[in-house]
Structure 1
Amino acid sequence: MTVTIGSHVLGGGHPVYVIAEIGLNHNGDVELAKRLIDVAAAAGANAVKFQKRTPEIATPEHMRDTLRETPWGTMTYLQYRHRVEFGRDEYIAVGDHATMCGLDWFASPWDVPSVHFLEDLNVVAHKVASASLTDLELLAALRDTGKPVILSTGMSTIDQIDRALGVLGTDRVVLMHATSTYPMEPEEANLRVIHSLRDRYPGVSVGYSGHERGLQISLAAVALGAVAVERHITLDRTMWGSDHAASLEPTGLEHLVRDIRVIETALGDGVKRVFPGELAPMAKLRRVPA
């Protein structure tokens, strides 16, 4: 089964769909967000992704009054969420910029009002963050949009994934294998789950959302058949914010996309044949003809 997002087809032997997750790495700054969109476009990514919250709904109650040190001073976690949240004008600005750069753009809504907010901006798809996989009300709202849904599966059990797909259906869903550790160590990658998800949900496209340092694990996911790869991006991993350390800097993203395209070419079609480049060595080295 394939899923179409914007002008791109995912699965069915089509090129890997590369999602550069900006998330909250814009730190509430539209110009920084635009610079990150430029980085994604220059690297050859297919899409950029943000996060959209209604802070009063999406912030867990036990976290709201927790104090946090920020570049804007000490504030509660709820105040921080408001400080970095983009509103309609900001999203129009960054969405238009992404479109002009030739990129799809969408976001992870963390609550039902955020779904309606994004639908009003006519996003091409929706992304479900791993933390939201068990929010069945949210999943039902996303299902009702009729848009493709990219579903991350970090911090989730198979039973929880079953339940989520029971709400969403499977005809417009891309499952993303993920482990929600920031940054993730290799021993927690468990990439063979890509095959496990494909076997359990026949016909559902499976990708990979990574939070590791470096490129190797994401590239291995492509070799294992991931139809999409999502990685956080940043201008500088030492910037303030919780996601920067597990993000790729511009050169890293450029190398990721380059190497994914090499792997796609190298995987071939699975049909064993003698390639033209082998003919001269065969004539020189093979003593006994077939």
Structure 2
Amino acid sequence: MRIDGTPISDRSVYFIAEAGVNHNGDLQTARRLIDAAVESGADAVKFQSYVAEELVASDAPKAEYQDEAVEEKSQLEMLREYELSRDEQRDLMSYCDEVGITFLSTPFDRESAAFLDECDVDAIKIGSGELNNYPLLETVAAMDRPAIVSTGMATMSEVVDAYEIFAEAGTDDQLVMLHCTSSYPASIEHVNLRSMRAMDDALPIPIGYSDHTQAVETPALAVAAGATVIEKHLTLDRSMEGPDHQASMEPDDLSESISLARTAAVARGRPDKRVTPPEEEIKFVARKGLYAREPVEAGQTFTRENVAIKRPARGLPPTEYETVLGSRAATTLERDDPITEFAVDSPESE
């Protein structure tokens, strides 16, 4: 699977800086968030695509964290204020092209998803709250383009059911699902990164992580645990008014978080155990072989008294120690000569 030509695999990490609604409805602030994402080293910057009246009912309550951050507005009023018009979204897409970063967005309804599809975005991101919005998932699955789906607030059966929608559409080969803790900010004790292993065991697709903690290290920990895609909220200033700023990282912290995540991806390596090229030289020096502890005449029996295990790894390996004992020397050996296979005759007969 690829996003904007970048392969999504366990050899690397694709990092999404989520601007979300942290622009507070201001286009210039949104552009500054794009600049910050570029400077931080992110692969993509993500916004939200919605029509406020289609997203929430007029009397919809805010979550507690939203109410604390934006006290005097209803959820509808808040979302209406932060809504980006389609022209504004096109402007941000063009600006992303100009500065060299991938534009992504999360649609909250089928019409917004269709708009993003018409704009030929590199991928569609589905938020955790839409995991059981099957009409939206079916619309995105039918687009035959990369999709990234967050799974906060979900059970494994709900995750599998959402995956099946893409599988039935034949587009699960372009799907990434993200483990997520939908709490703003999320505490470390609720992150549960081992959920990614359960998702990886259950699903034949790449698994990632959407982070809502305030710790710069958490994305790197997730990468070490197997995440191939990371999403992390970005703000210009945590003290700004708005629902997501407190759960977001300021640019300097995001830059550090991305750097740590990329280091973790390199350190994670391959899912096997092998000798690395730098280890080959050390292996010869550090491992041992069988040596003559004292002079051994041809025909003499090898015993514990005349066979030593020493560095470096010349001659037969220590795994052959018991096999060599009781055999006869095929040639004369001096002290510290390696005992090779050619120096060992057949075992001594009774």
TM, length-normalised to structure 2: 0.75
2:323 maps to none
Aligned pair partner of 1:59 in 56, 59, 76: 56
1:289 aligned onto 2:306:
no
Q: Distance in 2 between matches of 1:182 and 1:208?
A: 15
Question: Which residue identity is paired with 2:189?
Answer: E
The 1:146–1:275 alpha-carbon spacing in structure 2 relative to 1, beyond 3 Å, is closer
2:221 maps to 220
1:205 aligned onto 2:206:
yes
Question: Which residue identity is paired with 1:248?
Answer: M
Q: Distance in 1 between matches of 2:67 and 2:287?
A: 69
1:35 aligned onto 2:32:
yes
1:190 maps to 192
Q: Secondary structure of the residue that 1:166 maps to in structure 2?
A: helix
Q: Distance in 2 between matches of 1:65 and 1:225?
A: 34
8 Å CA contact 1:21–1:232 kept in 2: the answer is yes
1:179 maps to 181
8 Å CA contact 2:126–2:148 kept in 1: the answer is yes
Larger RCO, structures 1/2 (Cα 8 Å, 6+ apart): 1
Cα drift, residue 271 of structure 1: 4.3
Q: Secondary structure of the residue that 1:96 maps to in structure 2?
A: helix
TM, length-normalised to structure 1: 0.90
Q: Distance in 2 between matches of 1:277 and 1:168?
A: 43
8 Å CA contact 1:69–1:75 kept in 2: the answer is no
Deviations 1:125-153 (CA, angstroms, capped at 9, x unpaired):
11110000010011011112111110100
1:49 maps to 46
Q: How does 1:196-275 map to 2 (within 5 A)?
A: 196-201=198-203, 203-269=204-270, 270-273=272-275
Deviations 1:35-64 (CA, angstroms, capped at 9, x unpaired):
111111111110011111121121145417
Cα drift, residue 218 of structure 1: 1.3
8 Å CA contact 1:176–1:208 kept in 2: the answer is yes
Q: Secondary structure of the residue that 2:157 maps to in structure 1?
A: helix
Q: Distance in 2 between matches of 1:252 and 1:115?
A: 31
Structure 1, gaps ≥5 residues long: none
Cα drift, residue 266 of structure 1: 2.2
The 1:99–1:240 alpha-carbon spacing in structure 2 relative to 1, beyond 3 Å, is same
2:319 maps to none
Q: Distance in 1 between matches of 2:214 and 2:33?
A: 19
The 1:15–1:230 alpha-carbon spacing in structure 2 relative to 1, beyond 3 Å, is same
8 Å CA contact 1:124–1:148 kept in 2: the answer is yes
1:6 maps to 4
Q: Secondary structure of the residue that 1:63 maps to in structure 2?
A: coil
8 Å CA contact 1:175–1:207 kept in 2: the answer is yes
Aligned pair partner of 1:150 in 144, 148, 151: 148
8 Å CA contact 2:58–2:76 kept in 1: the answer is no
1:24 aligned onto 2:21:
yes
8 Å CA contact 1:223–1:263 kept in 2: the answer is yes
Q: Distance in 1 between matches of 2:68 and 2:227?
A: 38
Cα drift, residue 259 of structure 1: 1.4
Deviations 1:54-95 (CA, angstroms, capped at 9, x unpaired):
211211454179997988x94433222221100112111111
8 Å CA contact 2:12–2:265 kept in 1: the answer is yes
The 1:190–1:117 alpha-carbon spacing in structure 2 relative to 1, beyond 3 Å, is same
Aligned pair partner of 1:101 in 99, 102, 127: 99
Structure 2, gaps ≥5 residues long: 289-309, 314-350
Cα drift, residue 118 of structure 1: 1.5
The 1:273–1:155 alpha-carbon spacing in structure 2 relative to 1, beyond 3 Å, is same
Question: Which residue identity is paired with 1:186?
Answer: I
Cα drift, residue 258 of structure 1: 1.3
Deviations 1:191-240 (CA, angstroms, capped at 9, x unpaired):
00111100011x21000000001122211110111111000000111111
